[in-house]
Amino acid sequence: MRALVTGVGRRLGFYLCEQLVAAGWQVTGQYRSTRPELERLRSLGVELIQADFTRPNEVAALAAGLVDCPDLGLIIHNASAFEPLAEDVAARLAQFDRFYQVHMAAPFALNQALAPRLAGNDNASIIQITDIYIHAPPPQFASYVATKAGAHSLAMSLARELAPAVRVNTIEPGPILFLDEHDEVWREQVLAKTPLAREGGLEPIWQAVQLLLSNTYMTGASIKVDGGRSLARL
């Protein structure tokens, strides 16, 4: 079976490609910017397609390349854009539009184009990666969180629309892997409010993916993978 994973240039998307290949999947990976690390995925046999999700024509081209793929059985929407809220109103509006295109419009377009193909295969799944902060959106990340919440809502609607042929679920990561720009003070503050008191790493997300793939009675579910962070005040 073939899986499409978006946002494979680094971090979680890159890791998920490696794990899917090891599990026997044929993998197509979408990336926006060329990175030396992508050669590792090519060496594993991953088919890599460059597409900027802020450009609808490139999203459409990605979908067109897979619409006739007979064995497409999984889509993992991992591509993400992240940054704090911009300073001025014009920049905020432009930022919101970019987040909307990446987190909502591109997954929506891919789902609409590829759902009929998925429906032709047994145990087909769509997994949307969102964020625990969709439930308590911090003002400094308003555009990011709002569009991630929109992605969650679209996934829940799709779970109803595509059942029983295709299962649709979401994964909500917490502090699994800090960004380079997160200083030590920030990390300590986050982990102090995380019951398991440690950074999760990428493996727990893969374990959640495995659960969603193997449990054929799960659709419309959201799995928090956050070390208990959402139990505390976000």
| CB proximity list for 157: less than 8 A, separation 6 or greater | none
| CB proximity list for 72: less than 8 A, separation 6 or greater | 1, 2, 3, 4, 66, 114, 117, 118, 121, 124
Q: Which one of the listed residues 31, 100, 133, 144 is annotated catalytic? A: 144
Please name the amino acid found at residue 49.
I
Interior angle at CA 102, CA 109 and CA 73, nearest 5: 50
Q: Is residue 144 annotated as part of the catalytic site, yes or no?
A: yes
- Whether the CB-CB separation of 43 and 17 falls below 8 Å is answered with no
The catalytic residues are 144
